[in-house]
Structure 1
């Protein structure tokens, strides 16, 4: 006879997961991990009981969502919230698969001996594996007005879609992206390498930070490109020796083979995997649907849908093209694709070295784009026309005209040879831009050329500043 999981087994599992019920602190492993800088933005959303909304924490795998939830629990404990008022449930645990969300909540109250749900904080981790989770969560928010519900999930776009569809006025979304280079510096306690500069970009809103040791900062920038998107791998030399085993198996394969097929009903996962591998190897390149179909072997009519799936899993980002006057195209024929996290390249292929100029160029461009991807209020573009290209341009939402231009180079040669930046100069002249930015390996300077002020900034310091300013704006 097949035995069913008993209620007592469920209660025992809940008691095991909620370590603080017994010890009044989170487990040491979680407590020892550094808090992500996004924690200071996320924490107030949870602690504020006056807002009767559930908080939906979303983001790709292994960026620290579960750790952030535990850090939030520790903060609640330190602020005097009774341990028995804090409940944590890992929804994807097989022992809970047949139990409704409200029943899980009531079991947890029973397990901790809590009869009154008032002023409880309830955390549901990896909620996307519960069918119709948004309907169940909406019911809980409406039924238990004095209880704060916090959920997390890795399939961010699917979560966001369902959150927007069913949780209007009841859910607040929070996206936790991969580490920025600014966070990488912070987590590694390397802030002493950065100093506020009196030179470029100096203003009250966005001070510019320079480095006191460009060589050391570049060494860390390359390490960030190879391993830095994931907090755990930064501190594990063992994982860095074999990033394919860690990142590919634990992150990429689970997303491609389990998350996306289960959420979107994808049948041919090998086809999806081929497309992702093609994009990964060619990150920062321009594509069209025909090129991708021929290179990957995936049917052309499926490419667009698969890219949308990969974007929903925060594996890639598609960037749209504008012409030499900054105008978008009515029909999207060409576009660029970037890995949302440059570390994915090292996982599928091999870590890049500082001397590999061609591949470093692609991955540096990917890394810089990935810093901008954290700005959910801003969409960068690239410009390409018959006679030239500019790597990144900013378009004003109101006037729909270019307001800045950036050329991403892993080279110092353009300081001595500004004439080789003819596309950038032409774009600035056409759009009446008085200045433009060019990244370098380690030179920071500026010069005037053909009526345009060219500002040169090292790639690593530029990435640091974009990440810092993004986080400051979010705060």
Structure 2
């Protein structure tokens, strides 16, 4: 497999807001899954400028970050300070607070983590008001189109549905399966095992595979507990950890009419299709699959998530389902307004579920989302 530094650099949308200093010298905190390019993006941002990089996975760097006098001195010497893999730094919230409060030279402070830093170091509690938080995911279709074109993106949709859009996959597609299997086996659970007390790791891996096989389906924790032989509270805790560590996302239902719409039950989606397919060991082409609809639904969700995360517009995503089994895949709620989306492999006439939804919400038309109109959906 070619070395990552031989790959062409694909610009990230997040570079623009990170290029300008934030208000009052705040630290810039970037959270995202492992190996999505957080470090590469920051290295590109500080290229040719005096900087220093410390990582929470290096013992010498951890020693520096445990001594306020040592790390505060760095802001006097370097205009750019990058703290990588910060989830492994004890008390990272207090470290950021001290750095920002004592940053008299106006150095830019960047912090990355592959899990919620609150999980590790109480970031919101200790460093409130001293950082701006951003999210970085695998390449968005918008980023790929900016590097090439929407025509090329549409032509490669089968690859994105099966192999996802992790940087290593996009840059070296010949070794996509090898890379995805390696990361799903060796890297995916690293933060959870390190940051949380994990007494039964086999339970976690069994749960993750179950969830991967049921993307887009309504799941209930009690049902999973019975089927998997895992306690309900344990399942809730594991899913919270998986979400905090940027592996999957839980989507709740939108229920404004308890008599006809379900409130219980959730849907689970993975942040990358390739990771999901690696977990179930299935990279078969779309014509040979029975889950192609679920793959498109998962990709649609992650792309809308990236879009709203970049815009920082506060949009919440739900699904809608009635007690009579009518269902619409996604509802996006923002400032009291709701937009509805139904994922299909190709445009079709309205289904009974869409008609039922439009009767219940006559002011909210349903957009049919297909792989053929990705430029309209995500541009």
**Do the two structures share a fold, i.e. TM-score over 0.5?**
yes
Q: 1:438 and 2:373 equivalent? A: no
SS at match of 2:76: coil
Aligned residue in 2 for 1:151 = 111
Q: 1:33 and 2:6 equivalent? A: no
Q: 1:302 and 2:234 equivalent? A: yes
Aligned residue in 1 for 2:301 = 369
Instruction: Identify the match of residue 120 of structure 1 among 79, 93, 114.
Output: 79
Change (3 A) 1:94 1:181: same
SS at match of 1:151: strand
Change (3 A) 1:132 1:240: same
Deviation at 1:403, TM superposition (A): 3.2
SS at match of 2:46: helix
Contact 1:59 1:177 in 2 (8 A): yes
Aligned residue in 2 for 1:355 = 287
Deviation at 1:223, TM superposition (A): 0.9
Change (3 A) 1:183 1:391: same
Higher RCO, 1 vs 2 (CA within 8 Å, ≥6 residues apart): 2
- Which aligned pairs between 1:70-219 and structure 2 lie closer than 5 A? 70-74=43-47, 77=48, 81=49, 83=50, 86-99=51-64, 100=66, 102=68, 104-105=70-71, 117=76, 120-146=79-105, 147-156=107-116, 158=118, 162-187=122-147, 189-191=148-150, 193=151, 217-219=153-155
RMSD value over aligned CA atoms? 3.0
Aligned residue in 2 for 1:264 = 196
Aligned residue in 2 for 1:13 = none
Counterpart CA distance in 2 for 1:332 and 1:307 is 19
Instruction: Identify the match of residue 249 of structure 1 among 185, 203, 209.
Output: 185
Change (3 A) 1:185 1:354: farther
Change (3 A) 1:326 1:60: farther
Counterpart CA distance in 1 for 2:71 and 2:327 is 56
Change (3 A) 1:125 1:328: farther
Instruction: Identify the match of residue 290 of structure 1 among 222, 230, 233.
Output: 222
Counterpart CA distance in 1 for 2:156 and 2:344 is 18
Q: 1:236 and 2:172 equivalent? A: yes
Deviation at 1:141, TM superposition (A): 1.8
1:321-377 per-position Cα deviation (integer Å, ceiling 9, x unaligned): 134x66699995211111122221222222242214631100100110111223241
Deviation at 1:119, TM superposition (A): 6.6
Contact 1:345 1:351 in 2 (8 A): no
Q: 1:393 and 2:364 equivalent? A: no
Contact 1:42 1:174 in 2 (8 A): no
Change (3 A) 1:136 1:243: closer
Count of aligned pairs between the two proteins:
368
Counterpart CA distance in 2 for 1:65 and 1:434 is 37
Instruction: Identify the match of residue 422 of structure 1 among 328, 352, 362.
Output: 352
Q: What are the ranges of 5 or more consecutive residues in structure 2 without an aligned counterpart? A: none
Q: 1:380 and 2:323 equivalent? A: no
SS at match of 2:25: coil
Contact 1:352 1:359 in 2 (8 A): no
SS at match of 2:181: helix
Change (3 A) 1:430 1:142: closer
Change (3 A) 1:284 1:350: same
SS at match of 1:98: helix
Larger Rg: 1
Deviation at 1:279, TM superposition (A): 0.4
Counterpart CA distance in 2 for 1:300 and 1:311 is 17
Counterpart CA distance in 2 for 1:284 and 1:157 is 28
